[in-house]
Amino acid sequence: MSAARSRHLRTVAGQFALGIGALLLWEWGSRSGVLDKFFFSRPSDVMARVWQWIATGSIWGHLSTTFVEAALSLAIGGACGVVAGFVLARVPLLAALLDPYIRIANALPRVVLAPVFLLWFGLGIWSKVALGVTVVFFVVFFNTYRGVRDVDRVILDNARMLGASERQLIVHVLVPSALTWIFSSLHVSVGLAIIAVVVAEYMGAARGIGYLIAQAEGVFDTTGVFAGVTVLALGVLLVGSGVNRLERRLLGWKQARTGSGSAELV
């Protein structure tokens, strides 16, 4: 126990050392002139900028805009994906009819839709949410579809033999099975939602982290770009650990896949 604990502490210390080492190398590089400060900025400047944003409070509006957009994408895209996945899994004829179109739609790089949504929904949050929805929808849809279709045959038969009606099969077997798939893809959905809204903001917005980064880039302010990236990364990390906790709670029956699962963060 204590051996494992000290090994864990050593790993964490190593992780910190690695990160700080890389930052120091970067700092040293830009100070000594190996890295051009104009293109690469330097960690101390980036930190100072982030701190300035926090101190003046100017960052919160952007950050909350981005995360509200991502949350709306997740909610709308997720709800549509669950319903569509369920219906198509239960109505094979419909699934067969729509199959080629779903494939085409999913193969389309969604980013190219961002300008279209910008035209349709304007500069506000809804053009970002629209792009996020198109991304989240497919992840949730495919997982729901698979979760409902891939229910273990024996488990279904067992529930039937125990007297389950069609409705009870859905409530007690199909929905929990689909939920397993949906929740285990939550990391992916959350990550993609954030990427999508940031990209959409980058293309045209009045608020948000993507907008902040685009603004900084427009005036060749590399420090601003890196500061924006840093804030975004911290925010995503925070959300990711929240998702982890949620997953552990909802999928507790899966015998806690021990290990922090930090590698699969978004």
Partner 1 sequence: MGPPHPPLARAVALEHVSRQFSGYTAVEDISFDVAAGHFVSLVGPSGCGKSTVLNIIAGLLAPSAGVVKVFEQPLAGINRRASYMFQDEALLPWKTVLGNIQLGLTFRGRVGPDALDQARAWIDRVGLTGFADRYPSQLSGGMRKRVAMAQAWIVQPDLILMDEPFGALDVHTRLRMESEILGIWGESQSTVVFVTHDLEEAISLSDEVLLLSAGPGSRVVGRYDVDLPRPRDLMDIKTEPRFHELFRGIWSDLRQEVLKSHERSA
**Distance between CA 172 and CA 54 in Å, rounded?**
47
158 binds partner 1 (CB under 8 A): yes
From 29-37, 59-67, 149-157, 240-248, span contacting partner 1 (CB under 8 A): 149-157
254 binds partner 1 (CB under 8 A): yes
- Binding-site string for partner 1 from residue 179 to residue 218, where x marks contact by CB under 8 A and - marks none: -x--------------------------------------
From 129-137, 168-176, 211-219, 220-228, span contacting partner 1 (CB under 8 A): 168-176
Residue whose CB is less far from partner 1, 31 or 248: 248
33 binds partner 1 (CB under 8 A): no
Residue whose CB is less far from partner 1, 11 or 158: 158
**Distance between CA 80 and CA 241 in Å, rounded?**
25
154 binds partner 1 (CB under 8 A): yes
Structural contact between residues 133 and 75, judged by C-beta atoms closer than 8 angstroms:
no
**Distance between CA 143 and CA 85 in Å, rounded?**
8
- Binding-site string for partner 1 from residue 109 to residue 148, where x marks contact by CB under 8 A and - marks none: ----------------------------------------
10 binds partner 1 (CB under 8 A): no
Question: Which residues are within 8 A (CB) of 132 and not within 5 positions of it... i.e. 6 or more apart?
Answer: 69, 70, 72, 73, 74, 77, 192, 193, 196, 197, 200
Residue whose CB is less far from partner 1, 162 or 219: 162
246 binds partner 1 (CB under 8 A): no
Residue whose CB is less far from partner 1, 56 or 255: 255
166 binds partner 1 (CB under 8 A): no
**Distance between CA 203 and CA 114 in Å, rounded?**
7
Question: Which residues are within 8 A (CB) of 199 and not within 5 positions of it... i.e. 6 or more apart?
Answer: 111, 114, 131, 210
255 binds partner 1 (CB under 8 A): yes
> Exposed, middle or buried by CB within 10 Å (0-12, 13-18, 19+), for 99?
exposed
CA atoms within 13 A on the CB side of 228: 22
173 binds partner 1 (CB under 8 A): yes
Phi, psi of 167 (to 5 degrees): -65, -40
What are the residues binding partner 1 (CB under 8 A)? Answer: 152, 154-155, 157-165, 168, 172-173, 176-177, 180, 252-255
